[in-house]
Amino acid sequence: MAKRKTKYDPEDTSYMKYEVLSRTIVKHTTYDEHIVDIKKICTGNPVEQFITVQNVRYNVPHKVDEVKVTPTVKKTTKRKSVVQKVKEAVTPKRARNKKGQLMADDPNTPENEAWEGGKAPPKKKTTTRKRKTKA
């Protein structure tokens, strides 16, 4: 039983070999605690090898039954203030097609298709500033 590998055990590399010497499993209600003695053989230098023994502990959670329990998540949405609601109702929006592109107005129809609701916003007045003359 000591040789059994789990996904938590370290993987061998080109210069480091791992060997499981012993494994003790302590059962808990929600997880199993694995206590593993591992022999590490370092062959990075071909002339000499370093051999160490390490004691590792890790927790393996129990598998949940096939029935997946999805936690209920509440979606919190920001509540719009009265001012924002009125502003959205009053301000006209540009009409868009299915791709999200702005639509143009068809001059052959009486309704303005470029704006939602058929009304364009009033044009803003521009003012010119008078320049001050140097005295």
Give the integer Cα–Cα distance in Å for 93 and 119. Answer: 9
Q: Distances in Å between the alpha carbon of 64 and those of 29, 30, 32?
A: 12, 10, 13
The pair of three-digit structure tokens given for residue 61, joined into one six-digit string: 């959670």
Per-residue pLDDT of the chain (135 residues; tens, 9 = 90+): 455 667 777 788 888 888 888 888 888 888 888 888 888 888 887 788 888 888 888 888 887 665 555 666 677 777 777 777 776 666 778 888 899 898 888 889 888 888 887 777 778 888 888 888 776
Which domains, and CATH codes, for the chain?
16-61 (3.30.1040)
- Model's pTM, two decimal places? 0.41
